[in-house]
Amino acid sequence: RVAYVNGQYRPHGQAVIHVEDRGFQFADGVYEVWSVFDGRLADFDGHMTRLHRSLNELRIDIPMTREALGRVLNETVRRNRVREGLVYLQVTRGTARRDHPFPPEGTAPSVVVTARSLPLSKGDASAKKGVAVITHPDIRWGRCDIKTVGLLPNVLAKQAAKERGAAEAWMVDEMGLVTEGSSTNAWIVDEHGKLRTRDAQANILQGITRAAVMALIADEGLELEERAFSVDEAKRAKEAFYTSASGFVMPATSIDGVKIGDGKPGPIATRLRALYLDRAM
Ligand code: PDD
C-alpha cells in the first residue's frame, strides 16, 4: 500500500507526519472520505465543496487547487489498485512549535491521502440482515457542521456501540432528540410512511450521502420532513436507517434492543440503498 504525504507517495508503513503537526497536537484539521466505485470517486464535487467549506470556516489555507488535489486522490486510488473502497483525505494547519494560536503565516498545511479496498459485498451482507443501533449522549461541540478530525466523542460513542454488539451509535441531544450517528446521518420512516431526518442546520454534519438520498426520495415521490425526531419516535418508527459515504444506506433493525418495525430491513431503506448503488455505479 502507498500513502500520499505532503507531496510524496510513500510506502504505507513509512508514511509519517511530524510530532509537532497541529493535527496531532490539537486535532487542528479537517478530513473527507469518498467511496470508490469501479476505481472512481463517488460524489467528487460534493465532498470537495464541503472540504473547502470546512477549511474556510477554520481559516486553514487551501493546500492546492481542486484539480491538483483531485489528481492526488485519483493517483492514490490507482497506486493502491482500489476498485471498490474508500479514500481518506486529511488537511491540518501544518507543523509548527506547539502554541495554541495559529502558526506563523505561510506555514504549509499538511496533506495526507490514503486509499483502501473494501468490497461492496461486505456492506451488502449487513444491509440484508439489518444492523443494531444504540443511543448515546451527544457530548460534542457547537460546530458539528465542520468535518474536523476532533472525533473523540464520536470514537467513544462508536466504541460503546461495539461493546454492545451494535454497528452504530445514534447521538442524542439534551432534549432527547437524535442528532446523528457517530459517523453517519440518522433517518426514520414514521407510521404514515413519511421520512424524517434532522435539519442540517441543527448542529450536524451536512452529509453528502444524505443529500444524494434526498434527491432519490424526491425522484421516488416519497414524503420527507427535515425535522429532528426523538429516541421514542425512532423506537416506534416503521423503519430506521443511516447514511454515509462508507455505508451508503444501512437499515437499522433495532435501537437499544427495541425491534424496529418487524425487525427486518424496511422496504424504503432497502429501495433507497439499491437506487443509491445503482446511481453510483
Ligand atoms: N463520516 N455524520 C458524521 C458525524 C460523519 O462523520 C459522517 C461521515 C456523516 C455522513 O456524511 P457523508 O454522507 O458525507 O459521508 C454524518 C465518515 C464516512 C467517516 O468519518 O468515516
pTM over 0.95: yes
Instruction: Determine which one of 122, 128, 129, 147 is catalytic.
Output: 147
pLDDT band at residue 120, thresholds of 50, 70 and 90?
A: confident
Residues 138-184 have pLDDT tens digits of: 999 999 999 999 999 999 999 999 999 999 999 999 999 999 999 99
Ligand 1 atom at minimum distance from 43 CA: 14
**What is the fold, at CATH topology level, of the domain defined by 2-118?**
D-amino Acid Aminotransferase; Chain A, domain 1 (3.30.470)
Task: State residue 281's pLDDT score.
Answer: 80
* Residue 35, ligand 1, Cβ within 6 A: no
Neighbours of 213 (CB within 10 A): 25
pLDDT score for 280: 86
Cβ-in-10-Å burial (0-12, 13-18, 19+) of 263 comes to exposed
pLDDT mean over 106-115:
98
**Whether the domain at 2-118 and the domain at 123-280 fall into the same CATH topology:** no
Q: Is the pLDDT of residue 270 over 90?
A: yes
pLDDT of residue 2: 98
Q: Is the CB of 209 under 6 A from ligand 1?
A: yes
How far apart are the C-alpha atoms of 156 and 150, rounded to whole Å? 12
- Domain map of the chain by residue range? 2-118, 123-280
**What would you report as the CA-atom Rg of the chain, rounded to the nearest whole angstrom?**
19
- From start to end of the chain, where are the E strands? 2-5, 8-11, 29-37, 40-41, 85-92, 110-117, 131-137, 168-172, 178-181, 185-189, 195-197, 224-226, 239-244, 248-255, 258-259
* Ligand 1 probe mutation, 31, 32, 33, 249, most atoms within 8 A of CB: 33
Specify the CATH architecture of the domain 123-280: Alpha-Beta Barrel (3.20)
Active-site annotation holds for 147: yes
pLDDT one-digit tens code per residue, 234-264: 999 999 999 999 999 999 999 999 999 999 9
